[in-house]
Amino acid sequence: MQLASFAIDPEHTGHGRRALAGLWFGQLVDKTAGSVGEFIDEHRQDEPEFRERLKALLGRCRELASYRNRVVHSAYVFMEAGDELVTVLRSDMRSRGPENDVEIDQELLREDSFEEAVAEIAIPQLSSAAGTATWLDRPGGRNSPF
């Protein structure tokens, strides 16, 4: 939101945030792509490396939104044997296509599934070799490529 707000309102008059308020996440990502692209066209002209990084970052935002929706909107079935939790089944169902065909997405979760999920959504630029972020690794920090 900050990037789109600045691109819409570089003088910080306040209308940038208002223009973005109330947008769904996908709309916000699209608005960011468009407004930053227009800003670069008007003020910086040719910035191919930045445009590619922005495209990749916004693509990652879309992937994370899809992942978030899959996690939040799924049903979870806890499978037990005796008093012990054996596994968890994640199940998501949605309709697709013109015929509204039902698509079922299911996954058996294990203890290491959660570690894999955290690794999948972690931003590599924010984690150090030890697996924890430091202020030097944050975007704009000494070790950051951004």
Identify the burial level of 120 via C-beta atoms within 10 angstroms of its C-beta, where 0-12 means exposed, 13-18 middle and 19 or more buried.
exposed
| DSSP per-residue letters across 64-100 | HHHHHHHHHT-EEEEEEETTEEEEEEEEEEEEETTTT
Instruction: Supply 28's token pair.
Output: 């916000």
Domain ranges of the chain: 1-73, 74-109, 111-141
- For the beta carbon of residue 16, count every other beta carbon within 10 angstroms: 20
Give the pLDDT band of residue 1 (cuts 50, 70, 90): low
| Amino acid 99: pLDDT | 84
Q: What integer best gives the mean pLDDT of the chain?
A: 76
Span 21-33, average pLDDT: 83
User: b/e string for 33-50 if b means 16 or more Cβ within 10 A?
Assistant: bebbeebbeeeeeebeee
| Amino acid 138: pLDDT | 45
Three-state DSSP class for residue 22: coil
Span 83-88, average pLDDT: 90
Distance of CA 76 to the CA centre of its chain: 22
